[in-house]
Amino acid sequence: MWEAIRSNRRRSTLLIGLMGASLVALGFVIGMVFDPSAGGPIGAAAALGLWLVLLFVALSQGEQLLLLGANARQIQKEDCPRLWNVVEEMTIASGLASAPKLYIVEHDAPNAFAVGTKPEKAAVAVTSGLLKRLDRDELQGVVAHEISHISNLDARVMTIASVMLGSIVLVSDLFLRSLWYGGGRRTSRKGGQAQIVFLAVAILGAVLAPLIAQLLYFACSRRREFLADACAARFSRYPEGLASALEKIALQPSSMPEVNRALAPLFIVNPLQPFGISGLFSTHPSAETRIKILRSMGGGAGYVDYEAAFRKVTGAASRCLGESVLAVEKTVPARGAAGEPDPKQAAIERAQEVGALLGTLGDYLSVPCPCGVGIRIPGGFGGESVRCPRCGRVNSVPLAGPSPAGPLAGSSPEAPSSAAAPPLHYQRRGKSWESFRCSCGKTLQLSPSFIAPSLRCPSCRRIIEIGPAGAADRALSSAAPPLLP
């Protein structure tokens, strides 16, 4: 496997080197237009300096800039235990030292991407649509694919390549705009016919260089997707999970048209690329081809099985994986599907999970009324009860209060907002998704599978005891409050 990864890195290094040569050559020609005697070296140095500045910004803050551009928000384990557990499983399977941070993008189209110039700074972002539509096996396949990109250092290479592409586009755009708005008056008149030639070459280079750089950038991206798919099949030991997920993601019509073109190649399926389309201007191999390869692996989930399926589907003479890896690798049997006892009920629970998660991130508190209406209360609401807009019932706002057992020994009553303060208490009303507010105002949610006796508020760090919903509690919670006159 490392042979294939090294081969990809060498190929990417060559492609990025060609992009760098294009940038320096473009800067040299543009410099000669403005000063035929000494402008060439100055222009080349200026273009290279611009790239170094942008590269420094990308390597130091690239992850946050990309996540900010996607409107991604970080989540914690208590926000989405299902996703968190899958990420932890695939982190162990991949051999990464630490799990990546998790982010969610509020968008109904299912998709995901990974960023990180270093594994310890990496992050995986998924859309809310992905969490709603994918079962656990499918989600595991997608997460395994993204973690493969992190462990293979693909995100670092793509960050450098995208910065190089952005530098070429920026230099070309500045030059063409200077000609358009300046009318060529700023160029030197001492060059004669030589300067006219340089001007023509510079204009041609400014038009073609971004196009050539974009083709090289796309080539960097395409070569890595097959390898990430192979790793995902091996990590999850269930190729059908990723194949089914790719099918659901790729078949979404007009997926995410507002996505920035610089960010699109990072997604598991390019949201701007139609299903089944692949070519010079494609950032990813055809999703249809990737699905066929995964489903042609038979009962295996190893690298040898993926290589055989790759050759069968593509008919390629060249190998997808390295010879040294294939020489020592053996077939890995695929596991069976985890399955869901009731797929319809599972889909409802996933929708409830995502709704609760988005409500928590937006600081909305969900108050279920016995008539079936879910009342969403925005942050800053100071009342202790709220009236249902349908039936008029008065529903109490779920809040964490003082612990019935009293303060813990050694706690500090003078610091109610600190981690050393007496614990709060919240009594569960049932075993479904429910949310409540800490005394500091932070909205928290509990999943149906939450069984811990307490949790810590991520805002004020105060411990909150969670009481299980007993028979008396369920009776009280199911009793309808009186109607308001």
Would you please indicate which residues are annotated as catalytic (active-site) residues? 146
Residue type, 123: A
Residue 206 is inside which H or E element, if any?
helix 193-236
Using left for φ > 0, alpha for ψ between -120 and 50, and beta otherwise, residue 481 falls in beta
Is residue 306 within 8 Å of residue 320, measured between CB atoms?
A: yes
Q: Which residues pair with 455 in a beta bridge?
A: 464
Integer CA distances (angstroms), 135 to 76, 103, 433, in order: 20, 19, 18
Please, what is the angle between helix 154-182 and helix 39-69, to 10°?
120
**CB 95, CB 111: distance < 8 Å:** no
Specify the DSSP element, H or E, that contains 113: strand 112-115
Using the 8-state DSSP alphabet, how is residue 483 labeled?
B
Alpha-carbon dihedral of residues 189, 190, 193, 198, nearest 10 degrees?
-80
Task: Report how far residue 60's alpha carbon sits from residue 73's, in angstroms, rounded to the nearest whole number.
Answer: 19
Nearest to 111 by CA among 150, 138, 79: 138
| Contact residues for 38 (Cβ-Cβ < 8 A; gap 6+) | none
Per the DSSP assignment, residues forming a β-bridge with 72 are 105
DSSP letter, residue 121:
G
What is the rounded CA–CA span in Å between residue 405 and residue 450?
Answer: 21
- Put residue 447 in one of left, alpha, beta given phi > 0 → left and psi -120 to 50 → alpha: beta
Is the Cβ–Cβ distance between 49 and 193 less than 8 Å?
no
Closest residue by Cα to residue 30 from 275, 247, 200, 225: 200
